[in-house]
């Protein structure tokens, strides 16, 4: 049968996506800049479906019958532009290019415009779920034009994860919307991971739990409201023994967190939009701070503060408090991420269906969680919800968990255990629920030193005062 779909870039993600497409019965042409990789791939997996290999870009494109749909799975940034430039001369009007990497959404906006002006089609598509998701069903977030999406919808909805019979793939919006939403997904993933790491620190160093006990606690948490992929894999990590010693592998891993940039982009965009996305940003900063290992080791011998102290009192109560702190902070992190998407949609003219976004994140992606059903329900009930915290379910969940949340943060401060994401989430919550903030003083200061003027609580208008005689 004719082959319309091709994929170039056979690293982990590309290989697994190509296999997924082939497993679902779609013929596929594959290509990689370094031809050996294509050959190895076909030798190992060529029997899994209908593959056509190629040794050059020209051969690759010509293996496809128009209208062609070509997925690009290469390193984000300049490589994507290079690959587009190489493929373009061989394309016909109406052909579709799909960038499935983690591209910056502004690059995607530009590429959509440039290619559409030349009669070509372009989809900037977020693909989540790591290599396992790519092979067995990722969450897919396509953005660009509806008609471009229609071309690959039958393939994408088949290869994506399925939850309750629904594909974890839906058209996200125009231009760079797909990559934007994927970026925020990754930002939320950073926050989720940091929150779990803070819970770990408190339970390990504050309470003195062993890896066996941590495994138990996380396994139990995974049976409740916190049920999610990240909690599940965390429980698994605590059970893994080291191959080279008596201990556990997690204790041998160097405490320097790496990052590839999507969390940073989320924070940068939130600052541009003026939306406080504190949990994600603290998570990015926490990774930065973790990377100064040598400085931290030196400072640990110089800077005074509590160390080695332990939680006193009921141990199970503290474990439950940490669970509540984790859940409440997670609600805040998601509320902020969704708030950011609302603001970005306004700024860029996208129509985002937030309930549908929560729906496609329920499977195939790193932040998949039971909790996303609640988010979908919240937006179904109230599509114009100003903030997720105001949805009755979340108002109640955070309200019920806040006593433990506050206790955990004060204990952490007492013991000198840093909990930046827990505490910034609580500060956001307390700020958001305050009718009055001390910003009156800031306005007074600005007016005093810079004549920036201020508004009054009792009458309209802008005022400037002579503050000092
Ligand atoms: P990499 O990001 O490591 O990219 C490697 C691939 O890019 C290779 O096929 C390489 O070809 C190709 N490449 C690099 N530069 C060029 C160029 N100038 N011209 C042509 N080809 C080039 O691969 P991954 O599979 O990890 O990721 C692919 C994309 O998916 C990235 O954008 C990544 O951020 C994203 N992503 C990755 C996830 C993951 O878990 N790894 C999860 C979700 C998204 P060659 O073999 O010739 O060097």
pLDDT in tens, the chain (469 residues): 799 999 999 999 999 999 999 999 999 999 999 999 999 999 999 999 999 999 999 999 999 999 999 999 999 999 999 999 999 999 999 999 999 999 999 999 999 999 999 999 999 999 999 999 999 999 999 999 999 999 999 999 999 999 999 999 999 999 999 999 999 999 999 999 999 999 999 999 999 999 999 999 999 999 999 999 999 999 999 999 999 999 999 999 999 999 999 999 999 999 999 999 999 999 999 999 999 999 999 999 999 999 999 999 999 999 999 999 999 999 999 999 999 999 999 999 999 999 999 999 999 999 999 999 999 999 999 999 999 999 999 999 999 999 999 999 999 999 999 999 999 999 999 999 999 999 999 999 999 999 999 999 999 999 999 999 9
Q: Is 129 in the pocket of ligand 1 (CB under 6 A)?
A: no
- Same-domain check for residues 24 and 137: yes
- Same-domain check for residues 112 and 191: no
Ligand 1 geometric centre to CA of 76 (Å): 7
Which residue is associated with the tokens 């790519």? 134
Name the pairing type of β-strands 96-99 and 121-128.
parallel
- Same-domain check for residues 199 and 167: no
R_g of the chain, CA atoms, integer Å: 25
Q: What are phi and psi of 163, to 5 degrees?
A: -125, 125
For residue 466, count other CB atoms closer than 10 A to its CB. Answer: 8
Q: Is 57 in the pocket of ligand 1 (CB under 6 A)?
A: no
Which of 6, 7, 8, 9 most suits a substitution to test ligand 1, by most atoms within 8 Å of the C-beta? 9
Which of 33, 98, 129, 134 most suits a substitution to test ligand 1, by most atoms within 8 Å of the C-beta? 33
- Same-domain check for residues 159 and 191: no
pLDDT value at position 1? Answer: 74
Q: Is 14 in the pocket of ligand 1 (CB under 6 A)?
A: yes
In order, the DSSP letters of 74-143 are S-SSHHHHHHHHHHGGG--TT-EEEE-S---HHHHHHHHHHHHHTT-EEEEEEEESHHHHHHH--EEEEE
The first and second tokens of residue 201, run together, are 């620190």
Q: Angle between the 371-381 and 392-415 helix axes, to the nearest 10 degrees? A: 140
- Same-domain check for residues 351 and 453: no
CA distance 114 to 122: 9
Which of 36, 60, 73 most suits a substitution to test ligand 1, by most atoms within 8 Å of the C-beta? 73
Q: Which of 131, 132, 189, 396 is catalytic?
A: 189
CA distance 322 to 326: 6
Q: What is the ipTM of this complex?
A: 0.98
Name the residue with the closest Cα to ligand 1, atom 1: 75
- Same-domain check for residues 38 and 138: yes
Residues 401/325, Cβ–Cβ less than 8 Å: yes
Q: Which CATH number characterizes residue 466's domain?
A: 1.20.5.320
Ligand 1 geometric centre to CA of 100 (Å): 10
Q: Which CATH number characterizes residue 414's domain?
A: 1.10.1040.10
Decide: helix, strand or coil at residue 61: helix
Q: Which CATH number characterizes residue 40's domain?
A: 3.40.50.720
The first and second tokens of residue 229, run together, are 């992929």
Whether 189 sits among the annotated catalytic residues: the reply is yes
- Same-domain check for residues 69 and 216: no
- Same-domain check for residues 408 and 455: no
Name the pairing type of β-strands 121-128 and 139-144.
antiparallel
Q: Which of 400, 401, 419 is closest to 409 using CA atoms? A: 419
CA distance 263 to 399: 28
CA distance 266 to 276: 11
164's CB contacts (< 8 A; 6+ apart) are none
Dihedral of the CA atoms 394, 395, 401, 402 (nearest 10)? 140
Distance from the Cα of residue 256 to its chain's centroid: 20
Number of domains within the chain: 3
CA distance 77 to 102: 9
Ligand 1 geometric centre to CA of 370 (Å): 31
Whether 58 sits among the annotated catalytic residues: the reply is no
CA distance 399 to 381: 20
Task: Using the atom order of ligand 1, give the atom closest to the CA of residue 37.
Answer: 46
- Same-domain check for residues 109 and 128: yes
pLDDT value at position 383? Answer: 94
Query: At which of 175, 207, 231 does a domain end?
Result: 175
- Same-domain check for residues 468 and 380: no
Beta bridge partners of 124: 99, 143
CA distance 138 to 317: 38
Q: Which domain holds residue 392?
A: 182-432
CA distance 284 to 291: 11
Q: Is 73 in the pocket of ligand 1 (CB under 6 A)?
A: yes
CA distance 460 to 425: 33
- Same-domain check for residues 52 and 201: no
Residues 276/428, Cβ–Cβ less than 8 Å: yes
- Same-domain check for residues 228 and 148: no
């Amino acid at each position: 049968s004719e082959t319309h779909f091709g994929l170039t870039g056979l690293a982990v993600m590309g290989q697994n996506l190509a296999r997924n497409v082939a497993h679902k019965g779609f013929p596929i042409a594959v290509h990689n800049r370094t031809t050996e990789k294509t050959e190895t791939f076909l030798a190992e997996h060529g029997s899994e479906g209908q593959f056509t290999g190629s040794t050059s870009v020209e051969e690759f494109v010509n293996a496809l019958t128009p209208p062609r749909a070509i997925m690009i799975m290469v390193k984000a940034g300049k490589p994507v532009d290079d690959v587009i430039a190489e493929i373009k001369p061989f394309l016909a009007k109406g052909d579709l290019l799909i960038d499935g990497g983690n591209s910056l959404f502004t690059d995607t906006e530009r590429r959509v415009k440039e290619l559409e002006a030349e009669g070509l089609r372009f989809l900037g598509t977020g693909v989540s779920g790591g290599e396992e998701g790519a092979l067995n069903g990722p969450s897919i977030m396509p953005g660009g034009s509806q008609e471009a999406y229609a071309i690959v919808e039958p393939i994408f909805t088949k290869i994506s994860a399925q939850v309750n019979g629904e594909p974890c793939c839906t058209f996200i919006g125009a231009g760079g919307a797909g990559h934007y939403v994927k970026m925020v997904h990754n930002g939320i993933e950073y926050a989720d991971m940091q929150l779990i790491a803070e819970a770990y620190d408190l339970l390990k160093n504050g309470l003195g739990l062993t890896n066996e006990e941590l495994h138990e606690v996380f396994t139990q948490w995974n049976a409740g409201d916190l049920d999610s992929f990240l909690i599940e894999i965390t429980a698994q990590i605590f059970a893994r023994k080291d191959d080279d010693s008596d201990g556990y592998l997690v204790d041998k891993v160097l405490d320097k967190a790496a990052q590839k940039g999507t969390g940073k982009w989320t924070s940068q965009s939130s600052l541009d939009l003026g939306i406080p996305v504190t949990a994600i940003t603290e998570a990015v900063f926490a990774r930065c701070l973790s990377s100064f290992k040598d400085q931290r080791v030196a400072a640990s011998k110089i800077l005074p503060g509590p160390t080695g102290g332990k939680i006193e009192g009921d141990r199970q109560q503290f474990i439950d408090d940490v669970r509540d702190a984790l859940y409440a902070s997670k609600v805040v992190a998601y509320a902020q991420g969704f708030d950011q998407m609302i603001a970005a949609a306004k700024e860029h003219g996208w129509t985002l269906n937030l309930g549908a976004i929560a729906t496609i994140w329920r499977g195939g992606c790193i932040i998949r969680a039971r909790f996303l059903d609640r988010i979908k329900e919240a937006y179904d009930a109230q599509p114009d919800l100003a903030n997720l915290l105001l949805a009755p379910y979340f108002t109640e969940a955070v309200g019920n968990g806040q006593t433990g949340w506050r206790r955990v943060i004060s204990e952490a401060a007492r013991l000198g255990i840093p909990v930046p994401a827990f505490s910034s989430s609580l500060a956001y919550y307390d700020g958001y629920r305050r009718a009055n903030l001390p910003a009156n003083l800031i306005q007074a200061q600005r007016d005093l030193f810079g004549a920036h003027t201020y508004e009054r609580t009792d009458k309209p208008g802008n005022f400037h005062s002579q503050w000092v005689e």
